[in-house]
């Protein structure tokens, strides 16, 4: 993918935005988005194991007038005039693939100085299904508003404080070396430090950060796992962890690319002793 500036800067800049100006996207960014949504430049490692994903820019004035008054985001989003909604065919890695692609789209929008907000739960699926003519074999894992920011309203600031939207788990909780009892030493992994930091600061449903990564001790091979939660609050977000890991893989992939670190994505299910709550997803192997 081509960005106008460093992907590290773009990942740091992205933040969920829920208060928008009543303004349609200007012509130039609009045509860039149209091109982006053809997905010609986005290569997800899950692609060959997933059905097709498709995305559409939808403007609110196109909604049925009855629905138009209150676009279906349960009051979470204010002022947005346009959304990107997508659908994927149901398949083995559909959610991981969608997570990767949609995050790549969101980062490209961030690069265009547009704001976005992943919405996996708080939108009316029936309304958006109609808009994109959802087929029986498809699902809509998430959508996003897209547009120009207005100052975050009080409600939005409240949502962010409840979600602790700025805080992330520490390195020790997320990244391991050799086994799940040994946290990785970030000073001993060279440029992979930046790559893992870009995974760490990524967005996730409920800011749950379910990604756990284990590096082999003697080689640059990274195994990605998701952590399913059994707490009452955390388990609400279990249905999103496969999307979240797609986001983590996207951040890893784009940052490694930018830093010129070459590797291959592989599905190898390594023979590693792991906590019950972790499920293996994919590995990155330096080449
Ligand atoms: C898969 C996914 C689903 C999400 N669903 C919602 C949602 O339904 N409603 C909402 O307000 N925010 C939603 N979010 C946004 C997260 O709450 C947000 O990313 C997190 O709190 C971190 O804040 P940040 O994005 O500003 O860094 C979702 C995020 C992801 C990745």
| Distance from Cα 122 to the centre of ligand 1, integer Å | 10
Which residue owns the Cα nearest ligand 1 atom 10? 119
Q: What is the mean pLDDT of residues 204-209?
A: 96
> Which band of pLDDT confidence, cut at 50, 70 and 90, is reported for residue 234?
confident
| Distance from Cα 106 to the centre of ligand 1, integer Å | 12
Among the listed ranges 103-107, 227-231, 239-243, which one has the minimum average pLDDT value? 227-231
User: Which one-letter DSSP state was computed for residue 153?
Assistant: P
The CATH class that applies to domain 7-159 reads alpha beta
Which residue owns the Cα nearest ligand 1 atom 13? 119
Tell me the two tokens of residue 2: 């081509």
The answer to whether residue 64 scores a pLDDT higher than 80 is no
| Residues with C-beta less than 6 Å from any ligand 1 atom | 15-16, 76, 117-122, 142, 163, 165, 203-207, 240, 243-244, 247
| Distance from Cα 195 to the centre of ligand 1, integer Å | 21
| Distance from Cα 16 to the centre of ligand 1, integer Å | 7
Which atom of ligand 1 has the smallest separation from the CA of 18?
11
What is the distance between the alpha carbons of residues 157 and 181, in angstroms, rounded to a whole number?
37
What is the distance between the alpha carbons of residues 262 and 282, in angstroms, rounded to a whole number?
16
Taking domain 171-286, whether its CATH number is 3.40.109.10 is answered by yes
**Structure pTM?**
0.97
Which atom of ligand 1 has the smallest separation from the CA of 123?
8
Widest pairwise Cα distance in the chain:
61
Tell me the two tokens of residue 237: 């977000």
User: Ligand 1, from 20, 107, 119, 198: best to mutate by most atoms within 8 Å of Cβ?
Assistant: 119
The answer to whether residue 253 scores a pLDDT higher than 80 is yes
Tell me the two tokens of residue 247: 């986001």
Domain with CATH 3.40.109.10 in the chain: 7-159, 171-286
Q: Taking the alpha carbons of 30, 84, 167, 210 in that order, is the dihedral positive or negative?
A: negative
pLDDT tens by residue, 106-142: 999 999 999 999 999 989 999 899 999 999 999 999 9
User: Which one-letter DSSP state was computed for residue 151?
Assistant: P
């Amino acid at each position: 993918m081509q960005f106008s500036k460093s992907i590290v800067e773009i990942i740091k800049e992205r933040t969920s935005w829920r208060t928008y100006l009543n303004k349609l996207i200007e012509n130039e960014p609009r045509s860039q988005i149209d091109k982006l949504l053809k997905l010609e430049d986005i290569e997800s490692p899950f692609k060959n194991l997933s059905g097709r994903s498709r995305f559409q820019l939808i403007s609110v004035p196109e909604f049925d007038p009855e629905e138009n008054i209150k676009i279906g985001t349960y009051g979470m989003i204010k002022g947005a005039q346009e959304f990107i909604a997508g659908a994927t065919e149901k398949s083995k890695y559909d959610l991981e693939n969608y997570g990767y692609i949609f995050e790549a789209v969101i980062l490209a929008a961030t690069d265009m100085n547009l704001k976005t907000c992943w919405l996996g739960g708080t939108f009316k699926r029936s309304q958006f299904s109609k808009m994109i003519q959802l087929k029986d074999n498809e699902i809509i894992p998430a959508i996003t508003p897209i547009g120009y920011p207005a100052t975050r309203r009080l409600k939005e600031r409240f949502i962010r404080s409840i979600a602790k939207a700025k805080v992330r788990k520490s390195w020790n909780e997320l990244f391991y070396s050799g086994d799940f009892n040994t946290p990785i030493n970030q000073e001993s992994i060279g440029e992979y430090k930046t790559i893992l930091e870009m995974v760490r600061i990524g967005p996730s449903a409920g800011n749950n950060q379910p990604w756990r990564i284990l590096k082999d001790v003697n080689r640059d091979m990274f195994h990605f796992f998701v952590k399913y939660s059994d707490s009452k609050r955390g388990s609400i977000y279990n249905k999103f962890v496969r999307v979240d890991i797609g986001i983590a893989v996207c951040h890893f992939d784009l940052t490694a690319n930018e830093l010129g670190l070459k590797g291959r994505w592989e599905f190898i299910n390594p023979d590693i002793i792991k906590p019950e709550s972790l499920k293996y997803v994919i590995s990155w192997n330096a080449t």
